[in-house]
Structure 1
Amino acid sequence: MQIYDGIISDRGSKYAVSGGACGSEAEAKAFVKELCRKKKFAKATHNTWGVVLPDGMPLKNDDGESGAGMVILRMLEREGVTGQIVVVTRWYGGKHLGGDRFRHVQDAVRYYLDRL
């Protein structure tokens, strides 16, 4: 499990990105569960994630951040990355970010993919 914490900060909201190998839906759920064992991540507002399984099946979860899982999934598909779950975590800072939140999700995923 790779965790890159504090990579983006905007109007009080903070972002982290995590990821690792993932071969099934059960592994994806176990990965997020393991991440949330860390108190800081358990208290996050959103832990959105996406993965393209090795068999090509796409999975995503917005965790209340509507559309964010699809942003992650599209980036993974575009890059041809399979078998890697990517989780973008957001701690809400009190101010709405509007469309900027999607740019931050993209930037977080790019940060992770650049370090694969």
Structure 2
Amino acid sequence: MQVFDKIISDRGSRYAVSGGAAASRAEVAALLAELTRDKRFAKATHHSWAAVLAGEPVKDDDGEAGAGALILQMLERAGLRDQAVIVTRWYGGKHLGGDRFRHVAEAVRIYLRETGLG
């Protein structure tokens, strides 16, 4: 798993992006478990994720409505298969409105660029 931490900060909310190879929901669950073994990540407010597994799109907003769908859309556009991308957010106490989608999209762009997958 690759983790890019402290990549975006806005009004107290902080974002990280991570991911790795996954060919099944069980492997995505293993990636999430690995990520949350780190105490800092375990305390995060949201771990939104998406993947295209064996041609099937899967996503989870984890309370960040619409974030999983946005991540999935970006992965499908990039043609990325069997790779889960997780966007983590620590809520900072102020609502970000539509800016949260901009931050999720930027986090996925950073992941794709830094891993060379995009």
Give yes or no for TM over 0.5: yes
Match of 2:48 in 1: 48
Match of 1:76 in 2: 75
Match of 1:61 in 2: 60
- How many angstroms does 1:70 deviate by? 0.4
For 1:66, give the aligned amino acid.
A
Match of 1:21 in 2: 21
For 1:36, give the aligned amino acid.
T
What SS class does the counterpart of residue 96 from structure 1 fall into? Answer: coil
1:18-63 alpha-carbon deviations (Å, 9 max, x no partner): 011111111011111111111011100001000111x211111100
Q: Percent identity among equivalent residues?
A: 66
What SS class does the counterpart of residue 64 from structure 2 fall into? Answer: coil
Q: Report the Cα distance in structure 2 between the residues aligned to 1:65 and 1:11, rounded to whole angstroms.
A: 17
Structure 1 runs of 4+ aligned residues shifted over 6 Å read none
What SS class does the counterpart of residue 114 from structure 2 fall into? Answer: coil
For 2:13, give the aligned amino acid.
S
For 1:63, give the aligned amino acid.
D
Match of 1:105 in 2: 104
- Alignment length (residue pairs): 115
Q: Structure 2 length as normaliser, TM-score?
A: 0.95
Q: Structure 1 length as normaliser, TM-score?
A: 0.97
1:46-88 alpha-carbon deviations (Å, 9 max, x no partner): 01000111x2111111000011000000000011001111000
Structure 2 residue ranges without an equivalent (≥5): none
Q: Report the Cα distance in structure 2 between the residues aligned to 1:47 and 1:91, rounded to whole angstroms.
A: 9
Cα root mean square deviation, aligned: 0.6
- How many angstroms does 1:9 deviate by? 0.3
For 1:33, give the aligned amino acid.
A
Match of 2:91 in 1: 92
